[in-house]
Structure 1
């Protein structure tokens, strides 16, 4: 595929406009993740307090994801995303203002973090269902790679910039920038022409739609198996890394600047991974994703042994490459094998499953590390990642799934939709 063809999706006005808003909001979000951690720690917060704040955002997101998936399949997806970004802008803006005024009680931080989780629960399923409406079917792999690269590019500069701004100004300043980035995203969504039509739910109830979404999700062994894998990944690997990474940076590597550098390097790896993948379409995508995500445990391994900062950054770079490759191939695979009219609901089950026990990991990582050690908790996650990936790689449903050819995407999606309609009598017509 020629270099021009790799970027041909930008010829679509709606995708280009959406891309700008997505990059901007992700830049703010990547900055806010660093700012929020050190806002808690600089306010005499403990690792346990940081665990609670991170969990406060994830809990409502997990609880409301399935409802967000139903809304994304029965309401205009653009409308749902507009509401979601408005909620996130208001919650981050309120927290920034309160931090500028003075010390903020922990319960207030927890409440506003939870509001951000509500916005995420509404946004994510509609976003996953919106992408196929913005890009032609034969350009979905490139669209997903470019959106992943947008997130990665934001992750490169955002954390590093946030680390400097937190040190020079305050965490509140960074959170205010994040709130403004959501305002830009709202403006971009208002300019879209796609995603304005409300699907016909056929008068079915939300419960019936959730059941239909579950059938579409559970019909694919590879889909629920990989989702289960990442349910435990978030519990045992990623949640401890998110909590104990900033703590390790503060104790062993100099503070917020070091953590910003580590997270920024991860983002750089994601950008590199997106560039390497752009225009490439492996025939067995899930084999590639499973092999490369062994590297996701690399940063935890480096922090567990208190490796030099450059080693931690190198590990974060490798993990970032694997993250970009996984996200792009995973999303494209789902979009190519799941009917469009149930995509938001299916993705809500995927995200719900992946994050359902994440709050438990976030809440327990700090206290367990205080009772044992940071190195031990991180090492347990590393061992799990190696074991789980090895098991998934042996599954025939993962090894034997092939990507459809570009010229077969449309007919495959149509056949999949027809099959779903004929096999379930109460699937809503959307």
Structure 2
């Protein structure tokens, strides 16, 4: 009743009122906290297992490619299918399948029967599950994160996720050191069951289904292009999806290839410094997320988003200037904060602008734009760095991010998006 009264008065709640006002938000948040905690543990343990089994660092790239291929291939289809089903039920099925996969991985690791082929198969099906989970999760968030709680709910969710990305790897390292990789995989499996139990409380949540005319035959292709039409109708949506597809090529190359090289090879810092620098980015994201949630309304969101992108690019551009750990941490703190601001604005805008019955396919298009070109970005970074040098590549890619962000701000539809 408290939640209904807030809706009736059309009041927006703050950070600290969320749990009282929306039990559905609470269930969704805690389900994802446990799920992401398990994934964070596995993300640390998996490379250790791959190196132990294959003695090859390149094999880890193969494992990640096998995981990402079904995501890239299935997203255009999964988003359409999710829009025609109950999204909570899809998440329940996915969590149960992921539990079974991780439990299997844990058992064969305990029995010393793990080999690369079994790992390939399990990671492939984990990728398949991810391609259905993300559009469903985005759709459920759009339903649960109503206008009254949207800012606070999105920001608190992202703050918790960032915190887990810092804490989860530490826990994973402790588990694999004190116990074994099999225990880590087993804990990951248990977290999916805990997530499943939280999601069960949302099973009565109803969704608007995509309306199909009785006389018309629906096709996946037609439904997919309907999602594109939704995006095309909003300047903010189609420009941002295209722009960030391009920016992610440069961003991914810098963060995954050039940043580790800069700190570990160029500056010759200890590996712990790299961890500190990455943690500083997470800390910046958490601080920004808290600040975003404390404010009930944000204006000039188009300008804020692309200004934050430009500031991130400038911060990346300054990384090779001083070999100072505090300076690097300060820059990464700023980068994390800017990324969080842009991400929260984007998430809330999707929830406001996209019809519920088409949210799954639009979320798929968004995710596809985010991940599809990342492998190309990694390869491009390596080729360019070999040709012109790592520092020059870092400067060029950072400058490209700044230039693109400033260029987009010349578009009136972006500048006036509020």
* TM-score, scaled relative to structure 1: 0.80
Distance 1:375 1:108 in 2: 40
Structure 2 counterparts to residues 327-342 of structure 1, below 5 A: 327-342=343-358
Q: Could you tell me which of 134, 156, 160 is aligned with 2:166?
A: 156
The Cα shift of 1:253 comes to: 4.2
In structure 2, the CA distance between the partners of 1:180 and 1:127, relative to structure 1 (3 Å rule), is same
Alpha carbons of structure 1 residues 231 and 312: separation in structure 2 relative to 1, 3 Å: same
1:210 aligns with 2:224: yes
Mark the CA change 1:325 to 1:8 in structure 2 (over 3 Å): closer, same or farther. Answer: same
Q: Which residue of 2 aligns with 1:142?
A: 152
- Within a 5 Å distance, the mapping from 1:69-148 to structure 2 comes to 69-99=79-109, 105-148=115-158
Q: Which residue of 2 aligns with 1:318?
A: 334
Query: SS at the partner of 2:294?
Result: coil
Instruction: Tell me the equivalent position of 2:6.
Output: none
2:411 is matched with 395
- Which residue in the other structure is 1:423 paired with? none
Once the two structures are superposed, residues 149-185 of structure 1 have per-residue CA deviations (whole angstroms, 9 ceiling, x without a partner) of: 2212212312333345455555554444333322221
CA contact (8 A) 1:299 1:319 kept: yes
Question: Which residue, 219, 224, 232 being the options, matches 2:238?
Answer: 224
CA distance in 1, matches of 2:336, 2:382: 24
Q: How many residues align?
A: 401
SS of residue in 2 equivalent to 1:7: helix
* Alignment partner, residue 241 of structure 1: 255
Q: Does the CA contact (< 8 Å) of 1:303 and 1:375 recur in 2?
A: no
Deviation, structure 1 residue 363: 5.4
> How far did residue 336 of structure 1 move?
1.3
Please state how far the C-alpha of 1:338 moved relative to its aligned partner.
Answer: 2.0
In structure 2, the partner of 1:21 is 31
Q: 1:283 to 1:303 in 2, by over 3 A?
A: closer
The alpha-carbon distance between structure 1 residues 124 and 139, as it changes in their structure 2 partners (threshold 3 A), is same
Would the alpha carbon gap of residues 54 and 401 (structure 1) be closer, same or farther in structure 2, given more than 3 Å must change?
A: same
Kept after mapping to 1: 8 A contact 2:281/2:329: yes
Separation in 2 of the partners of 1:19 and 1:395? 36
Q: What is the TM-score normalised by the length of structure 2?
A: 0.82
Confirm or deny that 1:6 pairs with 2:21.
Answer: no
Distance (Å, rounded) in 1 between the aligned partners of 2:17 and 2:392: 48
Q: Distance in 2 between matches of 1:238 and 1:279?
A: 30
Between 240-249 and 75-84, report the one with greater CA deviation.
240-249
Q: Within 2, Cα distance between the matches of 1:183 and 1:106? A: 26
Per-residue deviation, 1:113: 2.8
Which of 267, 276, 288 in structure 1 is aligned with 2:291?
276
SS where residue 278 of structure 1 aligns?
helix
* d(CA) in 2 for partners of 1:94, 1:362: 31
Segments of structure 2 that go 5 or more residues without pairing to the other structure are: 1-10
Once the 2 structures are TM-superposed, how far is the Cα of residue 290 of structure 1 from its aligned partner?
Answer: 1.2
- Residue number in structure 1 paired with 2:4: none
Q: How far apart, in 1, do the equivalents of 2:307 and 2:279 lie? A: 24
Aligned to 1:64: 74
Change beyond 3 A, Cα 1:167–1:44: farther
